[in-house]
Structure 1
Amino acid sequence: MNLYHQLIENPLFFKWIYHNSPEINDYWDHFLSEHPNDAEVIREFKAGFEQHLQYKKHQLSEKEKKELAIRILKKIEQVDHKKRYRKVIRLTMRYAAIAILFLMVGSALTWFFMEDTISERYTQFPPPQNLNIQEPTLIIENEQEIALNKGQSELEYSDKGQIIVDKEKVIEDESLEKVKMNTLVIPYGNHSTITLSDGTKVWINAGSRLIYPSRFTDKTREVLLVGEAFFDVSKMEDKPFVVKTPDIDIKVLGTQFNVSAYPDENVAHAVLTEGSVEISHKSQSVFERNIILKPGQLASYNKQNESTNIYDVDTEYFTSWKEGYLTFTNSDLNRVVKKLERYYNIHMKYLDPLDGSLRISGKLDISKEQDVVFEYMNSLTGLNFEKINERNYLIK
């Protein structure tokens, strides 16, 4: 049985297309990361369905879904070389259109793109786990590196220019007039909290970086995030707070929300617990409106098809990590496993990838020793989390 027919016989593939959810997205993100050689083929097959669904109005039966899959498979095989040709034409037209826009609009548009480039030079760094920095580190103006406590660290900026590190070490900023750009690197297996100069408190999850100024002097308070963080924003009505990620931007005045924007995931999302936030994405056209989230809602941005969906959710499920435990209700095992991998800086592989679709409920105290946590996972799932070595587990 080839890959296409395996997908057709897999009910989770049709669920991914017809009944999408954050959990099923996480399952397939993990599956694609485990099968990188098949990832492009699988996404192409899925795209064929999504193109058809733009015109299909009635609900398809399981038989009709499989019949449609066969037709799409034949089409892929017949027009592969034509598709590549069309892609080249589209790229050529896109760059030609950009050139025309620059000629028409002139310096104003040039400044707009320059401003985006300034942000991109921070957000396009490699993922933290691929940097040479393997320990929690504060980097000041790309010149000075300060080691932080392993596991859990804490930073606090005072209005006098001091940086209090892990409640004991004080760093004096001799030049209060100069705003310095700082980078907080938190590799997998570590967590951190930081209180910014405006009083905003941020919880940084494993495998993340936060880039921020030593003081906020512009009309907006702007930080850049790669990874996941929970923000408790200090309210300043005359100076909005903006969280930029490689894919989405979140603008607020004063509120509490969680942002997950890991580079290796297909979906970036924001969850609002209190207040109101305005969300936009990088590929958004001038005709699209920004999304306003209400408390208890999640905005999920799909990087592949550049679409955003809104869900009503239990926010505790997405924010409890900062308190040292995971909450999950009827959740795919794959989603829980991914969080455990980041928290403990380990890698877990399924003997049978379909086990990742097992739905479980519970509350997991991840502050306990790994052996205790995985004993609980064994009893909860009926599977065996077998330890191969310090960094690797096999789920079977």
Structure 2
Amino acid sequence: MQQQKFLQLIDKYLNGEASAEEEQLLLNFFESFQSDSEWDESALGIKKQLEDKMLNRLQQAVQKSKSQSHPKMGRLFTLRNIAAAIALLAVIGVGGYYYILKPAKQLLASKNKSAVKHDVNPGNNKAILTLENGEQVILDSARIGTLAKKGKISINKTKDGQLVYTATHEDNATANDPIVYNTISTPKGGQYQVILPDGTRVWLNAASSLKFPTAFTGNQRRVELLGEAYFEVTKNALKPFTVKVNDMQVKVLGTHFNIMAYSDEIAMKTTLLEGSVQLNRGGAGNLLKPGQQGVVKGNNIQVMDVDVDAAIAWKNGFFEFKRASLQDIMKQLSRWYDTEVVYEGKIPDDEFVGKIERNVKLSQVLRILELNHVHFKIENKKITVTP
């Protein structure tokens, strides 16, 4: 099969126009794709270049589906196992989802359910608010309405799981006013949204915390973050907004951005959706434009163009992976499902691309991963990963 003919065939398949014979031809080709010894470079070109073209076709199909109803389970595939990629592209059927190819559906149905002894529900809205006097309020069980009121500050919990700070006469606050700090913390398996006194909205991902003043006095607005959060900062040219993350500072006037800075990640990532932000670390500084991500690793700040939808997929209720390793995926699952992850044996170094909803049980996510030749066992909130 020539390279151009193959790419045309995969396009037909993704558009639902391939015949049964063409689907079988495609699967036969994918099987040969896995073996370097059977690769005909004179006809098909350099294997890595074709793989990149295939990935581009598949990513376009995923992007196209964003404007449609989303399947409950999602679709996920590895770059090395392209046969699984095609099997796992999901389309909407009446009343739910289905896999395009019967072999994948049969494989999913035949999984040994005994591997799941204790399934795990997805995370939800839960957090702890720590007041300036050390008092803690468990937000998921706290009553709806006013939680605390002190001076000019009123703290309220809404019925849709938001924590709202309301400050009266904040414009009259001065730098001489005492600064009172609160901290909102989400556990593993939790998320929460807080509206700060200036109207800035912050979405906290699992295992994260935000320390902030109950009123922004003086000529600056400054908060501290651990973990991951998405910010929609209220514009105020007289009071720049600064997020301190370890030894990095993100400075803005008014903008939308995401910061991912978990302690178990090798890099801190700031992704800009709207406006502009200035990243500062030590003597280094970089200005981000919309659609860019600043990656801080060691003493370096690297700026690159990225898919911003993937960076904030968690906020919108999805896991979205772009060439993610299995270990990267398991870190996200561990935080969201509040589980421990252990590895046994040699784990494949495949890279995964795909999108899965975050509101399904853990076993459903793992079954999708298992179609890519990885195996899991869930017991007492511990995931054991094996080849």
Fold equivalence (TM over 0.5)? yes
Which residue of 2 is the match for residue 297 of structure 1? 292
Please tell me whether the aligned partners of residues 388 and 394 of structure 1 are also in contact (alpha carbons under 8 angstroms): no
Please tell me whether the aligned partners of residues 157 and 195 of structure 1 are also in contact (alpha carbons under 8 angstroms): no
Query: CA–CA distance in 2 between the matches of 1:168 and 1:235?
Result: 25
Query: CA–CA distance in 1 between the matches of 2:314 and 2:145?
Result: 16
Query: CA–CA distance in 2 between the matches of 1:240 and 1:182?
Result: 20
Indicate yes or no: 2:324 matched with 1:328. Answer: no
Q: Give the CA deviation at 1:268.
A: 1.2
Indicate yes or no: 2:386 matched with 1:391. Answer: no
Please tell me whether the aligned partners of residues 129 and 185 of structure 2 are also in contact (alpha carbons under 8 angstroms): yes
Which residue of 1 is the match for residue 249 of structure 2? 249
Indicate yes or no: 2:339 matched with 1:346. Answer: yes
Matches within 5 A, 1:16-55: none
Q: Which amino acid aligns with 2:382?
A: R
Which residue of 1 is the match for residue 301 of structure 2? 308
Query: CA–CA distance in 1 between the matches of 2:193 and 2:146?
Result: 6
Q: CA-to-partner distance for each residue in 1:303-360, whole Å, 9 max, x for gaps? A: 3xx11111211111211101111112333222222111111111222324542x2112
Which residue of 1 is the match for residue 352 of structure 2? 360
3-state DSSP class of the match of 1:309?
Answer: strand
3-state DSSP class of the match of 2:312?
Answer: helix
3-state DSSP class of the match of 2:334?
Answer: helix
Relative to structure 1, the CA distance from residue 173 to residue 237 in structure 2 (aligned partners, 3 Å threshold; closer, same or farther) is closer
Please tell me whether the aligned partners of residues 131 and 183 of structure 2 are also in contact (alpha carbons under 8 angstroms): yes
Matches within 5 A, 1:1-396: 136-149=127-140, 161-167=153-159, 179-281=179-281, 284-285=282-283, 288=284, 290-303=285-298, 306-355=299-348, 357-379=349-371, 381-396=372-387
Please tell me whether the aligned partners of residues 351 and 395 of structure 1 are also in contact (alpha carbons under 8 angstroms): yes
Q: Which amino acid aligns with 2:206?
A: A
Q: CA-to-partner distance for each residue in 1:97-146, whole Å, 9 max, x for gaps? A: xxxxxxxxxxxxxxxxxxxxxxxxxxxxxxxxxxxxxx721001142211
TM-score by length of 2: 0.59
Q: Which has the higher contact order (CA 8 A, sep 6+)?
A: 2
Please tell me whether the aligned partners of residues 129 and 182 of structure 2 are also in contact (alpha carbons under 8 angstroms): yes
Q: Give the CA deviation at 1:247.
A: 2.6
Please tell me whether the aligned partners of residues 164 and 194 of structure 2 are also in contact (alpha carbons under 8 angstroms): no
Query: CA–CA distance in 2 between the matches of 1:173 and 1:314?
Result: 34
Q: Give the CA deviation at 1:211.
A: 0.1
More divergent stretch after superposition (313-322 vs 256-265): 256-265
Q: CA-to-partner distance for each residue in 1:143-193, whole Å, 9 max, x for gaps? A: 22111117xx99999996221124399999999975420011111111111
Please tell me whether the aligned partners of residues 155 and 195 of structure 1 are also in contact (alpha carbons under 8 angstroms): no
Relative to structure 1, the CA distance from residue 364 to residue 181 in structure 2 (aligned partners, 3 Å threshold; closer, same or farther) is same
Please tell me whether the aligned partners of residues 155 and 193 of structure 1 are also in contact (alpha carbons under 8 angstroms): no
Query: CA–CA distance in 1 between the matches of 2:253 and 2:295?
Result: 21
Relative to structure 1, the CA distance from residue 359 to residue 345 in structure 2 (aligned partners, 3 Å threshold; closer, same or farther) is same
Q: Where does structure 2 lack aligned partners over 5 or more consecutive residues? A: 1-125, 170-176
Query: CA–CA distance in 1 between the matches of 2:342 and 2:145?
Result: 32
Output the aligned Cα RMSD. 3.1
Query: CA–CA distance in 2 between the matches of 1:171 and 1:235?
Result: 18
Relative to structure 1, the CA distance from residue 383 to residue 165 in structure 2 (aligned partners, 3 Å threshold; closer, same or farther) is same
Relative to structure 1, the CA distance from residue 160 to residue 141 in structure 2 (aligned partners, 3 Å threshold; closer, same or farther) is closer
Query: CA–CA distance in 2 between the matches of 1:276 and 1:171?
Result: 26
TM-score by length of 1: 0.58
Query: CA–CA distance in 2 between the matches of 1:251 and 1:155?
Result: 31
Which residue of 2 is the match for residue 124 of structure 1? none
Q: Give the CA deviation at 1:197.
A: 0.7
Please tell me whether the aligned partners of residues 129 and 136 of structure 2 are also in contact (alpha carbons under 8 angstroms): yes
Query: CA–CA distance in 2 between the matches of 1:384 and 1:171?
Result: 43
Please tell me whether the aligned partners of residues 235 and 254 of structure 2 are also in contact (alpha carbons under 8 angstroms): yes
Q: Give the CA deviation at 1:266.
A: 2.7
3-state DSSP class of the match of 1:322?
Answer: coil
Query: CA–CA distance in 1 between the matches of 2:199 and 2:147?
Result: 9
Relative to structure 1, the CA distance from residue 237 to residue 154 in structure 2 (aligned partners, 3 Å threshold; closer, same or farther) is farther
Q: Which amino acid aligns with 1:277?
A: V
Please tell me whether the aligned partners of residues 247 and 268 of structure 1 are also in contact (alpha carbons under 8 angstroms): no
Q: Tell me which protein shows more helix as a share of its residues.
A: 1
Query: CA–CA distance in 2 between the matches of 1:376 and 1:154?
Result: 41
Please tell me whether the aligned partners of residues 194 and 202 of structure 1 are also in contact (alpha carbons under 8 angstroms): yes
Q: CA-to-partner distance for each residue in 1:213-251, whole Å, 9 max, x for gaps? A: 111112111000011100011111111100001131100
Q: Which amino acid aligns with 1:394?
A: V
Query: CA–CA distance in 2 between the matches of 1:192 and 1:274?
Result: 22
Query: CA–CA distance in 2 between the matches of 1:368 and 1:315?
Result: 23
Relative to structure 1, the CA distance from residue 225 to residue 178 in structure 2 (aligned partners, 3 Å threshold; closer, same or farther) is same
Q: Where does structure 1 lack aligned partners over 5 or more consecutive residues? A: 1-134
Relative to structure 1, the CA distance from residue 259 to residue 174 in structure 2 (aligned partners, 3 Å threshold; closer, same or farther) is closer
